[in-house]
Amino acid sequence: MRQQNPKPTTELVYSNPFELLVSVILSAQATDISVNEATSQLFTVANTPEQFIKLGVSGIKGYIRRIGLFNTKAEYIFNTSQLLLEKHQGRVPEDRESLEALPGVGRKTANVILNTAFGQPTIAVDTHIFRVANRTGIAPGKDVLEVERKLLKFIPDEFKLDAHHWLILHGRYICIARKPKCAECLIYELCEWGRKRQFSSH
């Protein structure tokens, strides 16, 4: 995966940690494409906590209407902006505890911010990574936390920073849910699911 994509990154478009935080909050149960469409206009009007507070909840809603759960997400973003100003001088914190205390930020979102904005070797397990980890057998687990812990345990340190992006892209474009593109898969020969398919076809 490193040979094919030496410098992977998120497909969300952002220019600072706060923009990334807003984008990741918006991306819950939404595609990165739809988030980027909304933020391309939104961020020209507001890209700091102060500017989002001036916009207000109804102003934020106007830009994110096409995104699922937009009412709740507008509240999250507004309240998060207030909290960042009150407790963090308007800056996005670089520690998990402070991030998870922000409205609309759970463990997965915190992991994305720590990894992508601040270069920490965390792995945010979304539906794509959960599927890839279980299907290939790289880190099988019953829930996202178990998969995350196994990935952090088994992935060598030199790959930890980029593993999240490699696995997410693999799940998004190759190891898709319904009809995985096994013929295009870099790791098919290492995949437990692939081996079972080969075995059952013989």
pTM: 0.91
Compute the distance between CA of residue 73 and CA of residue 67 in angstroms, rounded to an integer.
9
pLDDT in tens, 74-88: 999 999 999 999 999
Contact call for residues 24 and 77 (beta carbons, < 8 A): no
- What domains can be seen in the chain, in order of their start residue? 17-117 (1.10.340.30), 127-201 (1.10.1670.10)
pLDDT in tens, 8-44: 999 999 999 999 999 999 999 899 999 999 999 999 9
Is 126 an annotated catalytic residue?
A: yes
Question: From the candidates 95, 126, 142, 181, which is the catalytic residue?
Answer: 126
- Crossing angle (nearest 10°) for helices 127-136 and 144-154: 60
Is 162 an annotated catalytic residue?
A: no
Q: Is the pLDDT of residue 116 over 70?
A: yes
Query: How confident is residue 200, by pLDDT bands cut at 50, 70 and 90?
Result: low
pLDDT in tens, 153-190: 999 999 999 999 999 999 999 999 999 999 999 999 99
Question: From the candidates 108, 153, 179, 196, which is the catalytic residue?
Answer: 108
